[in-house]
Amino acid sequence: MKLITRFIIIYLTITVIVLGIGGVISYELIKTEVDKELQFEFMERIDRVAYLIERGRDFHRSRRGREIEGDQNLIIERLDYEVEPRIEVKDTLIWHDRLEQNESNVKVSAYRNINGESYYISTYGAMIESDDITEAVVKTFLWILGLQILGAIGIGYFVSGPLFKPFRESLKKIKRFKLQEKQYIPAEETGVVEFNEMNAFVEEMTRKAVSDYENLKEFAENASHEIQTPLAIARGKLELLSETELNEEQYSYVDSLERTVKKLSRLSESLALLTKIDNHEFDNGKTVNISEFIEESISQFSEFLALRNLSLETSVEENVEVYIHPVLADILWTNLFQNAIKHNIDGGTIKIKLTREKLSISNTGRKPTVDPDKLFERFQKADQSSDSIGLGLSIIKRIVEQNDYTIAYSYSDGWHTIEILLNGVKGNQLQN
């Protein structure tokens, strides 16, 4: 739900509650005020009747003098007993003929001693029917509510429009922010304190993220270079050691150490390569004829194919050109091909298919033990015990991403297939 929708809902809910309470209060206030006026009016009328009686006007002809003074509800009775003069004000329900319901009326009754006789004078009535009050109040308040809704929607449009524009702009920039581009988000003056604070914070945060990222990258690159010199020393020492008189056991240790050192060095080289790709050091591509590229590499790999007795089926369209850094093209293809050899079974097959849209390489092999989605993550190995360092596929993936290609891996019926959609055609079903 949008913030502004939520705001309007809360606002209107409160408005309805407030108007409801306000309506009840208004009704009560109006009614009280009207009743008070009515009381005064009735008392004055009674006083007038009393005055007329005092003056000798005789109301006795009609015991219930309805016509008197134009007041149909006036009642004058002479009482046979002594009364204490007093006035009583009551709310009473009177049957209303036309509305066919009981109506709340004000009734004022007075007991008076006039010229030595006791009288009961009373009248009742309602200036406005309570239904009418309710109706008026409800109508008024519905009007107010209607205007409030219009106002709220208007404010909503304004708030989500011009008022929140700086917020949306900032949000757009944050969404577009890519750490690899190393561009922090500069804070813009918005004229609103909260937005300014937010923008300042975003600037500070992105600056920090960018600088941390750079430091990390630099560290990773330096570390992987710095590590090569000690490794070279270790390697040299092992080679010198292997020239001394060693027995078989000692020599096997030296050999195993040599391999470990080599593996370590490969590992740090691969990490350095990933870092370089991330650092956009290979952004200047050029047009590479991958058809030729693949044909050439096949001869280079032929020995390895022969060793494992692998057969190769190729279907390579001629002169397929892509725009890529040649070094990356080499690494990408070498890794793919090596992968297909490494994870193959002896006597298996490798299929290479290249069209203008798509490069796919399939190989026979055992069912993967790793979740295919995780296959492209760093240090994921199909076989944990294997000698590989587990960076090949993540290097492939980084190169693919860097060049806006799409890569997908699938396994079915003993075939592992890696497909790369070329020319930045963003695949949908193949999107990994």
Partner 1 sequence: MKILIVEDNTELLQNMVTYLEREGYRCERAASYDEGFDKVMSYTYDAVLIDIMLPGGNGLQLLRELKSVRPETGTIIISAKNSLDDKVEGLDLGADDYLTKPFQLPELQARIKAVNRRNNLGGKEIIRINEISLNTQTREVFVNDTLVDLTPKEYDLMLYFVSNKNRVLSKQNIAEHLWGDYVDQLDNLDFVYQHIKNLRKKLVKNGAEDYIESIYSIGYKLNDRLSRA
Determine, following the binding rule CB under 8 A, whether residue 366 of this chain makes contact with partner 1.
no
* Of 97, 100, 243, 318, the one binding partner 1 by CB under 8 A: 243
Q: Write down the least CB distance from residue 348 to partner 1, Å.
A: 14
What secondary structure letter does DSSP report for 130?
A: H
Tokens found for residue 409 = 């891996």
Determine, following the binding rule CB under 8 A, whether residue 100 of this chain makes contact with partner 1.
no
Pick out residues in 370-389 that bind partner 1 (CB under 8 A).
386-388
Nearest CB to partner 1, comparing residues 211 and 386: 386
Determine, following the binding rule CB under 8 A, whether residue 309 of this chain makes contact with partner 1.
no
Determine, following the binding rule CB under 8 A, whether residue 355 of this chain makes contact with partner 1.
no
Question: Distance between CA 52 and CA 60 in Å, rounded?
Answer: 13
Question: Distance between CA 4 and CA 165 in Å, rounded?
Answer: 13
Question: Distance between CA 291 and CA 293 in Å, rounded?
Answer: 5
Pick out residues in 264-293 that bind partner 1 (CB under 8 A).
265-266, 269, 272
- For residue 160, give the H/E element and its range: none
Determine, following the binding rule CB under 8 A, whether residue 75 of this chain makes contact with partner 1.
no
Question: Distance between CA 265 and CA 107 in Å, rounded?
Answer: 107
The site map against partner 1 for 34-73 (x = CB under 8 A) is: ----------------------------------------
Determine, following the binding rule CB under 8 A, whether residue 261 of this chain makes contact with partner 1.
yes
What secondary structure letter does DSSP report for 163?
A: I
Burial class of 215 by CB neighbour count within 10 A (0 to 12, 13 to 18, 19+): exposed
Determine, following the binding rule CB under 8 A, whether residue 255 of this chain makes contact with partner 1.
yes
End-to-end CA distance of the chain: 30
Return the closest-CA partner of residue 394 out of 261, 226, 273, 279: 273
Q: Which residues of 316-346 are buried (b: 16+ CB within 10 A; e: fewer)?
A: beeebebebbeebbebbbbbbbebbbbbbee
* Of 154, 236, 372, 414, the one binding partner 1 by CB under 8 A: 236
Determine, following the binding rule CB under 8 A, whether residue 345 of this chain makes contact with partner 1.
no
Backbone angles phi, psi at 242, to 5 degrees: -70, -10
Pick out residues in 386-415 that bind partner 1 (CB under 8 A).
386-388
**Identity of the amino acid at 49:** V
Say if residues 261 and 234 touch (Cβ distance below 8 Å).
Answer: yes
Q: At which residue do the structure tokens 């050691």 appear? A: 241
Nearest CB to partner 1, comparing residues 339 and 403: 339
* Of 341, 420, 421, 422, the one binding partner 1 by CB under 8 A: 341
Nearest CB to partner 1, comparing residues 74 and 329: 329
Question: Distance between CA 249 and CA 329 in Å, rounded?
Answer: 43
Residue 287 CB-half CA count within 13 A: 3
* Of 119, 301, 333, 376, the one binding partner 1 by CB under 8 A: 301
Beta bridge partners, 102, equal 95
Q: Write down the least CB distance from residue 239 to partner 1, Å.
A: 5
Nearest CB to partner 1, comparing residues 30 and 264: 264
* Of 307, 357, 372, 374, the one binding partner 1 by CB under 8 A: 307
Q: Write down the least CB distance from residue 264 to partner 1, Å.
A: 9
* Of 130, 190, 228, 349, the one binding partner 1 by CB under 8 A: 228
Mode of pairing for the β-strands spanning 286-289 and 321-324: antiparallel
* Of 17, 25, 232, 425, the one binding partner 1 by CB under 8 A: 232
Q: Write down the least CB distance from residue 273 to partner 1, Å.
A: 8
In which region does residue 184 sit, left (phi positive, over 0), alpha (psi from -120 to 50) or beta (all else)? beta
* Of 239, 296, 357, 404, the one binding partner 1 by CB under 8 A: 239
- Residues whose CB is less than 8 angstroms from the CB of residue 75 and which lie 6 or more positions away in sequence, other chains included: 64, 65, 120, 121, 122, 123
Backbone angles phi, psi at 110, to 5 degrees: -130, 140
Question: Distance between CA 233 and CA 241 in Å, rounded?
Answer: 12
Determine, following the binding rule CB under 8 A, whether residue 349 of this chain makes contact with partner 1.
no
Backbone angles phi, psi at 2, to 5 degrees: -70, 150
* Of 32, 73, 300, 302, the one binding partner 1 by CB under 8 A: 300
Q: Write down the least CB distance from residue 296 to partner 1, Å.
A: 13
Question: Which range, of 68-76, 82-90, 209-217, 256-264, touches partner 1 by CB under 8 A?
Answer: 256-264
Nearest CB to partner 1, comparing residues 6 and 259: 259
Nearest CB to partner 1, comparing residues 15 and 265: 265
The binding site for partner 1 (CB under 8 A) comprises 225-226, 228-229, 231-237, 239-240, 242-243, 248, 251-252, 255, 258-259, 261-262, 265-266, 269, 272, 300-301, 303-304, 307, 327, 334, 338, 341-342, 386-388
